[in-house]
Amino acid sequence: MAIDREQLLHVAHLARLELREDEIERLGAQLNDILAAVSKVSELDLADVPPTSHPLDLVNVWAEDEPHVSLTADEALANAPQRDGDMFRVPPAGS
């Protein structure tokens, strides 16, 4: 199983990564090596085994709905690349 250039660009788009030409070649080859190595998990027949998503058996962890002091707008915006009043400024959506 190998992923081709078109599939790589599709996955990169899903992940919002603009790969440069040299990266397509280098990362594409490495990605195929990695996928070949991890595909080993399919050797096992685990039809009857339940999945583990989390190592602790915690169910329904609730918290009281109590108001508390949160970040101010200035704090929340302190690291903004671009700020406009009390908002994050971003470029317009494309066509």
Partner 1 sequence: MIDTLRLTAEGAKRLLDAKEISGPELFAAYLEAIGERDPELHCFLHVCDDPGGDGIPIAVKDVIGTKGIPTTAGSKILEGYVPVYDSTVVSRLKAHGLRILGKTNTDEFAMGSSTENSAYGPSHNPWDPSRVPGGSGGGSAAAVSAGLAPWALGSDTGGSIKQPSALCGNVGLRPTYGTVSRYGIVAFASSLDQVGPVARTVRDCAFLYSVIAGRDPCDSTTVELPQPVQLPEGESLAGLRIGVPKELNEAEGIEPGVREAVERAIELCRELGAEVGECRLPLSVEYGMPCYYLIAPAEASSNLARYDGVRYGYRTPDPADRLDMYKRTRDEGFGDEPKRRILVGTYALSAGYYDAFYGQAQKVRTVIKREHDAAFGDFDALVSATSPTVAFPLGARTADPIAMYLSDLLTIPSCMAGLPGLSIPCGLSEGLPVGLQLVGPQFGENVLFRIGHALEQALGFDMVPERLR
The contact set with partner 1 (CB under 8 A) reads 3, 8, 11-20, 23, 26-27, 30-31, 33-35, 37-42, 44, 46, 49-56, 58, 61, 63, 71, 75-76, 78-82, 88, 90-95
At its nearest, how many Å lie between partner 1 and the CB of residue 86? 13
DSSP letter string over 15-39? TT----HHHHHHHHHHHHHHHHHHG
Closest to partner 1 by CB, 34 or 86: 34
**Residue written as token pair 């990169």:** 12
Q: Report residue 67: phi and psi, to 5°.
A: -65, 145
Q: Given the complex with partner 1, which of 85 and 94 has the nearer CB atom? A: 94
